[in-house]
Structure 1
């Protein structure tokens, strides 16, 4: 996931989640220091007490401007008294898994990940995660969680197109990006390592006769753009827009609000569209890592993200909370925040790929992207 670039009992958060009751826990351990293990509590009350002693949660790949995480960090610390420590905020999903492999058993290992849907099965297969079922587990749709609790998604979004309207028109379709005005102006990262870039290929596939089970047309779409000299590259899409290296970036709808100030300072007229011919949405999962140094603080972070307060923080960025239906049914999301979410006609079109479809897409991207796209343009 290449990003644009969280005291006593849980107070406000704890009052809510304790009332719901703990659905399920698997007590595995971590090591705050070499040779020491940290056990996961057997109840939410015990987890809260143990987390207080741990003192912090260590996250990876959680930039402040991604999905309104800056506010989530503040709320979490205020509610729990725990410090939020973030390493490598701009890391991709692939790099997050690599961090667990390399740092396992060390004090610097991250407690929680924020990985794209296409990386969840790999994390399970390599035994990089520990099952944990948060207290809101039953309110999360089946397609947004692993039945055994190996991961739970807290939010999802829709792939969108942001442009500098001073330089190019706002596209109304994915096909519009083939217009000569966009030549040499479209930022595209590498979908072999990042979930957001892979999602862009999925969206392009849907717009070109493909499906969630056939991403091939999306690869061909970007191959045509690469061959025509339409694609440009850099550290991030927002950086490319700010520096003028690009006039178009492809990203999740929930990331654009976080770069508005940056774009204004750079003189960019940021306009965002979600073309109806290629609506693709998917989720990010927040698993507890195996041998987490602070497993209890990590569990509380998951509880926070899936609480009403955590869900509303997501929604403020346009990210759709995993518990969206349950929250709407009890009128928990303020009306002004609901207006920030994608239009209903867009959300209704979202069908998440199955794990098998994600795996098939990843395999095809791995085998074809280098020869068809990267070979036509230097990544």
Structure 2
């Protein structure tokens, strides 16, 4: 099966096409010679990446190295800038949708169309091949049920004084896509839209003013230590943490709020001039393959090719059971990168000014 390689201008920072296999079989052979793929911001509990790592290494004999597994999308782009041309430069990123255009504009990524490119929905890939979005998730709240009297079901519920100092988002929305998603979710619940994130900022400003909003350095530890009782994050992240939280004695569950259903994808671009260009491309092929889709679904992440694979009954019952309720998935409308850019601009100018906590 043929694959589309690089076609990224004349920049000396991009990969020489002659260094890349001309089809998937050649890419596999070359990747095995390279022996390693270097990733950044791939936590093992995120979207079942632990399962991906195990299966990929077993199938191809290519080692996986993950640097800064908990880095934000902004930090990923900075890492490529700082490490360009070095052996420690990441080969492939995992960035929020709203960071895809900055990555392209800064010349940090180069096109690659994996072997199943045609079966990836158009809204989950860049038309020029600069990235694919291999999976997406739904914003959820994780709840330590021992620390709340009632479990909230709507955004309006979060304003109740009983949640004073108990609600958090997983970081700074000026830096990370999961935090931006929480703001988008609040916007949808408060009269906003994919084109208008301002009501989400206004909601969190109100939540902060009420004293209900607090900070956590890390969602999992924040839940375990009681820094917060209600924390926003992706559904697949909470699924990935559930077993550990239960072992830690946390009376835990996670939910999608009724009035702010928001989902979005993360993109996996190959970096420009990556040290292991074939292994980088093989990793992207893996993530969008039937096997990669199964691993994502087992972790609660909705694979890009979900509709096709589900219709063909190629996902296991266990994987299907780990995904969000189909009624929730049907409500998800994925914003475009352009909508993400506009949201970033509003957050950059409004967040610090309005949300004080």
Query: What band does the TM-score fall into relative to the shorter chain?
Result: over 0.9
Q: Distance in 1 between matches of 2:87 and 2:318?
A: 42
Aligned to 1:371: 353
Unaligned runs of 5+ in 2: 9-15
Aligned to 2:321: 339
Contact preservation (8 Å) 1:113, 1:285: yes
Aligned to 1:167: 147
Query: Which segment drifts farther, 179-188 or 213-222?
Result: 179-188
1:270 aligns with 2:261: no
Q: Distance in 2 between matches of 1:170 and 1:295?
A: 48
Q: Distance in 2 between matches of 1:56 and 1:191?
A: 32
Unaligned runs of 5+ in 1: 1-20, 29-35
Contact preservation (8 Å) 2:77, 2:108: yes
1:252 aligns with 2:234: yes
Contact preservation (8 Å) 1:191, 1:365: yes
Contact preservation (8 Å) 2:5, 2:17: no
Q: Distance in 1 between matches of 2:163 and 2:119?
A: 43
1:98 aligns with 2:98: no
1:322 aligns with 2:304: yes
Deviation of 1:276 (Å)? 2.2
Q: Distance in 2 between matches of 1:324 and 1:282?
A: 14
Q: Distance in 1 between matches of 2:26 and 2:318?
A: 37
The number of residues matched between the two structures is 349
Deviation of 1:38 (Å)? 8.5
Deviation of 1:355 (Å)? 2.2
Aligned to 2:265: 283
Contact preservation (8 Å) 2:143, 2:253: yes
CA RMSD of aligned residues (A): 1.6
Aligned to 2:168: 187
SS at 2:322 equivalent: coil
SS at 1:219 equivalent: helix
Contact preservation (8 Å) 1:196, 1:251: yes
Aligned to 2:225: 243
Q: Distance in 2 between matches of 1:80 and 1:197?
A: 35
Q: Distance in 2 between matches of 1:183 and 1:234?
A: 14
1:216 aligns with 2:198: yes
Q: Which runs of 4+ in 1 moved over 6 A?
A: none
Q: Distance in 2 between matches of 1:179 and 1:109?
A: 47
Contact preservation (8 Å) 2:93, 2:271: yes
Contact preservation (8 Å) 2:3, 2:23: no
